[in-house]
Amino acid sequence: MKIITDRDLFLGGVGTVLGAVESRNAMPVLSNVLLTAEGDVLYIRATDLEVTIKTAYAVGVVEEGSVTLNGGKLHEVLREIPSGDVSLAVDGDSRAYIQAEDGGRFELMGLHPDDFPPYHGVGGEIGHEVPCSVLAGMIKRTIYAASGEDGRFNTNGIYVERDDVAGCLRMVATNGHRLAIDEHYDDIRVAFPSDGGIILPRKGAKEAAKFLGGADTAAFTFNERQAEFTVNNTTVSMVLLKGQFPDYQRIIPDDPDKRAVLDVESATRHLRRVSTMADEKSRAIALTFSNNNLEMASRNPNFGSSTTNMEIEYTGDPLAITLNDRYLLDFLSVVGTGSLSVYMVDENHPIMIRHDGQSNPNYKYILMPMRA
């Protein structure tokens, strides 16, 4: 195998798939990227067996062939080579020789391409063209709420479904203590299995979101086992999570009688202030709503306490409720600016937060109160 290509394109191609490289070294070959030169195209692929990223671009192919090289080391080498043409040649022992225009030369030990896991695509059983801005926005507004616990496989990702009654595409993520729901009501025809939606793994969805800004639309394709997002010449494939997603509808407050309207930037500033004294384990912040005022307070048995007050609009009887400060800050960092409405029943029921006046008014964030 031998190719001649532009260093910047090569570096970009390797960087594109690097997110799927297995860093834990469970199988040495999974730390590698597969390079395949065919015709006038270089195909680059990486996988951790759960998420696969592949991309391709035109190169000068002197001799066709394949090799797998350590993804991190190859990226590091290319990053140190100046812009210009670079050649990569591979011998029969899977040794790669990289030559830069300025005379720099590198030798990388590779593994035989037959050791690299094969790629099995979705096969286009169900395919849809979806606006990239829609997919990227919905993933951003839900993925942070997904569980990070290894034992909770069915909540370690984003649940995606088509609600034919409401006529929307919906994404939901939860960790059992918080819930993010986003809905899109434009004319997007997405068919899902008759028994419900699909659960995208958190890592796969995160990697897909990186490329969704690169085009107007993305091909969203899936079957019973895996899903793919294809943008231009890059495809992110992921194995779907198994299990029944929790019945999230039952915890959405039906008829909250208390509403507070807060400025996002002011709320973020005050919350960060009291977070400095929040207990490291519980992350508890006491919120007291009364007479158009919100008091935030925290206490740390090892360091001290903090209290701050901010002006708000408030309708309802006074209410004191305790929430996780990190969960609130995560939401505030996603919505950015503007105002938000907090809907509450009492200190024991979930609260619902909505971002007022945004382009997608169907975004909801549900938080379970903590015991004071």
- How far is it, in rounded angstroms, from Cα 217 to Cα 235? 13
Distance CA 335, CA 90 (A): 49
For 221-238, what is the mean pLDDT? 91
Task: Please tell me the predicted confidence (pLDDT) of residue 168.
Answer: 83
Whole-prediction pTM value?
Answer: 0.90
Q: What percent of the chain has pLDDT over 90?
A: 73
Query: Between residues 186 and 45, which one has the greater pLDDT?
Result: 45
Residues of the chain with pLDDT > 70, as a percent, come to 93
Rounded-to-integer distance, Cα 6 and Cα 244, Å: 47
DSSP letter at 282 equals T
Q: Where in the chain is the domain with CATH 3.10.150.10?
A: 2-115, 126-249, 253-367
The confidence score (pLDDT) of residue 27 equals 86
Is the pLDDT score of 194 beyond 60?
A: no
Describe the crossing of helices 325-335 and 264-275 by its angle, rounded to 10 degrees.
150
Q: Which of 235, 234, 238 is nearest to 225 (CA)?
A: 238
Q: What is the pLDDT of residue 362?
A: 86
Nearby residues of 62 by Cβ (< 8 Å), 6 or more positions away: 2, 3, 4
- For the ranges 62-76, 206-220, 294-308, the lowest mean pLDDT is seen at 206-220
The shares of helix, strand and coil residues in the chain, as percent rounded to the nearest 5, are 25, 45, 35
Does the domain at 2-115 match CATH 3.40.50.1100? Answer given as no
Residue 268, classed as helix, strand or coil, is: helix
Domain 126-249 has CATH 3.10.150.10: yes
The pLDDT of residue 26 is: 73
* pLDDT (0 to 100) of residue 126: 57
85-116, pLDDT tens digit by residue? 999 999 999 999 999 988 889 999 999 999 99
For residue 87, list its beta bridge partners.
4, 99
Q: What is the distance between the alpha carbons of residues 34 and 51, in angstroms, rounded to a whole number?
A: 14
- CATH class of the domain comprising 253-367: alpha beta
CA angle 205, 234, 65 (to 5 degrees): 130
Per-residue pLDDT tens over the stretch 322-367: 999 999 999 999 988 889 999 999 999 999 999 886 656 789 999 9
Round to whole Å and give the CA distance between 313 and 321. Answer: 17
Mean pLDDT over 106-131 rounds to: 85
Average pLDDT of the chain, as a whole number: 91
Residue in the block written with tokens 């290509």: 5
